Structure 1
Amino acid sequence: MTTMQDVATRAGVSAKTVSRVFNDDPHVTEDTRQRVQSTMRELKYVPNMLARTFREGKSAVIGIAVPDVADPFFAAITKEIELAAREHDMAIVVTSLGDNPSLEQNIIETTVRRQIGGLIIAPIAADQSYLARWQDSFPIVFIDRTPIKLNADYFVEDDFGGAFEATQHLIAHGHRRIAIVGDSTDVPTTRLRLEGYRAALDDAGLRNDEELVVLGSRNADGAAQACKTLLALPDAPTAIFSSNARFSIGVFPALQALNRTDIALISYGDFPMADVLQPSVSVIDQDPRRVGRVAAERILARLATPAKRFRRKNVLPVRLIERQSCQSVPALSAPVDVP
């Protein structure tokens, strides 16, 4: 593994200068900074942050990077990671990646400079190979979405299976016009959930109607507008599958505002108050606390045995929680038996 002294020797500077460059010290000349940074890239050098924090008597820190810390799903994951970290005298630092994939690498590298001992990330970009140079310095675990162009530990949910079950459940209640509302298929979870939705329709011999597929919403307000657009169709859907909890928070009040309590709704992902709303909302439960716990435990296990190189890939099961929002369609068509 490349050391700071290796970089210093190759660049013709002191180890202290290398440290100053890495920490963006403004007192380093631009010529020296460029020469040291070029050498770092050439030697694929990253500092051993965890060793440094232990030497300085500080608690190690787990970095968490998710698309949106306000999203109910990611908020619950973050809370569980924090609880697990506290149990081991560790702290967390949390950052939102947002929805611009081009910013992911810069945001992550800024987080890394905070001397983290491990990283848990739900990526938004289409390439995480930039993280390869950090893997020898601290453990990296992906959640919710698989890494691309990088071999790493990950925990993802059964997005295809959950969407298939949700759509199948609506079909069994007599629904034939089932819409899906979601964000872009550039997001891997949305793409898999769309595939599961379509597969369930195909399995039941129902037509995939593209006018019932409304994707591209960026937030709850966009999902609410998508709901209104769907219900204005001449042949409107009788049921809506919302592809994530963030959008469900927009879809439900839109249905209420239109006084459309006759429209069935299933949310991929539970959300606050979903079980006490009227009607209560059926959900595909992702169990975000479990996701957070297993991700934190994997980080801790990697810290305990850093020599292990084998990356483990895990697909976590999800489950349908049936509530009041999936009523049958009266007199439209008889429910069908779906295995």
Structure 2
Amino acid sequence: MRDVALRAGVSVKTVSRVFNDDPHVLPETRDRVSDALAQLNYTPNMLARTFRDGRSPVIGVAVPSISDPFFASIVGGVEQVASRHDMSVVVTSLGGEGAHEEGRVESLLKRQLGALVMAPTADDQGYLARWAGKLPLVFVDRPPRGLDADCFVEDDEGGARAATAHLVGRGHRRIAFIGNSTSASTTASRLVGYRAALAEAGLPADEELVQLSSLTSGGALRAVQRLEALEAAPTALFSSDAETTMALVPALVGRRLAITAFGDFPMAAMLSPALTVVDQDPASLGRLAAERAVARLDGPLESPAQHVTLPVRLLERSSCRSPQDLVELFPWTVPDGGGRVVWESPRP
């Protein structure tokens, strides 16, 4: 900018005003600066831009997997907000297990971030305490452990309770739960909701019906086979997350089971029968988290943390039949529309 100012015969501040389209610059001055910008092929260093407190205009995003449609939508929501504020976004995947979280997050934080939006995978985020006074830390989908920070989550327990109660209402009394490890707070909360729905219906909580750690197609098939081998096999199942459900699809072909699932995903409405799901809004999670991060960039970091739970809703499709009316789940190809809302969490 000093080179541009020297060539145009103006101050560096005037160059900045022209570049930012300040309407108070005289036309002839603007022309001289614009010519100098073009002659020197000037491009701004966006990383050199800072907020009034000196923080970088870059938001880091750390999620378990950017290939997961749910977390990809969270990233998209962050990007929408960042774009409005002329900020950049840097994304990293943490992996499904918590072992790599600390190293990957610390590596990301060393890249001169202005803020971090994160869906944690480890059991403890206390290692981030030393960063809390330096930049905004905002958590999505899962609250942090060992650290008090802004977080935006969804009604995991309420959604799972509604999805399980929906199966109970269809006449099912043996309902299985399939999900990943309860080390993920989302799975743990959904398991609580599942058990609560059974208790409310006066049904026993049979731990043989709970199958965990089945995220692969092979693991899903083995879980279904274990359930089928029970003396009293289930007639229905609740899948605790979209990744588990997608792994379950091949295992369920030709089997007579009613299904509800937490989390919609591409093609869920196109399967035959189409899946009844607890519908989430991950893009809103991303937008709200990013907006909170931007607000903290321009304000005090010391203000109290916000803990917000967003509502979810149960979309009824055709995968929930009564035990007397079950059909084979094959061939998973016939369209069935978008579903209708039959339950929704109370607004906060």
Q: Measure the CA separation in 2 of the matches of 1:124 and 1:320.
A: 26
SS for the counterpart of 1:174 is: coil
Which residue of structure 2 aligns with residue 203 of structure 1?
200
- Say which one has the larger Rg: 2
**Pair 1:61 & 2:55 matched:** no
For residues 150-181 of structure 1, give each alpha carbon's deviation from its aligned partner in whole angstroms, at most 9, with x where no partner exists: 11000111111111111000000001110010
Which residue of structure 2 aligns with residue 14 of structure 1?
none
Which residue of structure 2 aligns with residue 276 of structure 1?
270
Cα pair 2:77 2:287 within 8 Å, conserved:
yes
How far did 1:282 drift? 0.6
Which residue of structure 1 aligns with residue 29 of structure 2?
none
Cα pair 1:245 1:270 within 8 Å, conserved:
yes
How far did 1:59 drift? 7.0
> In the superposition, relative to structure 1, how do residues 91 and 51 fare at CA in structure 2: closer, same or farther (>3 Å)?
closer
SS for the counterpart of 1:149 is: coil
Candidates 112, 115, 119, aligned match of 1:118:
115
Q: Measure the CA separation in 1 of the matches of 2:250 and 2:178.
A: 14
Q: Which amino acid aligns with 2:58?
A: V
For residues 301-332 of structure 1, give each alpha carbon's deviation from its aligned partner in whole angstroms, at most 9, with x where no partner exists: 11121355211111111110010111222279
- Identical amino acids, percent of aligned pairs: 52
Aligned pair count reads 279
**Pair 1:107 & 2:114 matched:** no
5 Å matches for 1:54-203?
54=50, 60-203=57-200
TM-score, length-normalised on structure 1? 0.77
Which residue of structure 1 aligns with residue 230 of structure 2?
233
**Pair 1:317 & 2:314 matched:** no
SS for the counterpart of 1:54 is: coil
5 Å matches for 1:246-285?
246-256=243-253, 259-260=254-255, 262-285=256-279
Unaligned runs of 5+ in 1: 1-49, 333-339
Coordinate RMSD, CA, aligned: 2.2
For residues 187-223 of structure 1, give each alpha carbon's deviation from its aligned partner in whole angstroms, at most 9, with x where no partner exists: 1111111111111111111111111110122434422
Which residue of structure 2 aligns with residue 9 of structure 1?
none
Q: Measure the CA separation in 1 of the matches of 2:47 and 2:136.
A: 13
Unaligned runs of 5+ in 2: 1-45, 327-348
Q: Measure the CA separation in 2 of the matches of 1:141 and 1:84.
A: 14
Q: Measure the CA separation in 1 of the matches of 2:111 and 2:207.
A: 46
Deviates more, 1:217-226 or 1:278-287: 217-226
Q: Measure the CA separation in 1 of the matches of 2:266 and 2:225.
A: 23
Q: Which amino acid aligns with 1:263?
A: L
TM-score, length-normalised on structure 2? 0.75
Cα pair 1:220 1:246 within 8 Å, conserved:
no
Cα pair 1:72 1:246 within 8 Å, conserved:
no
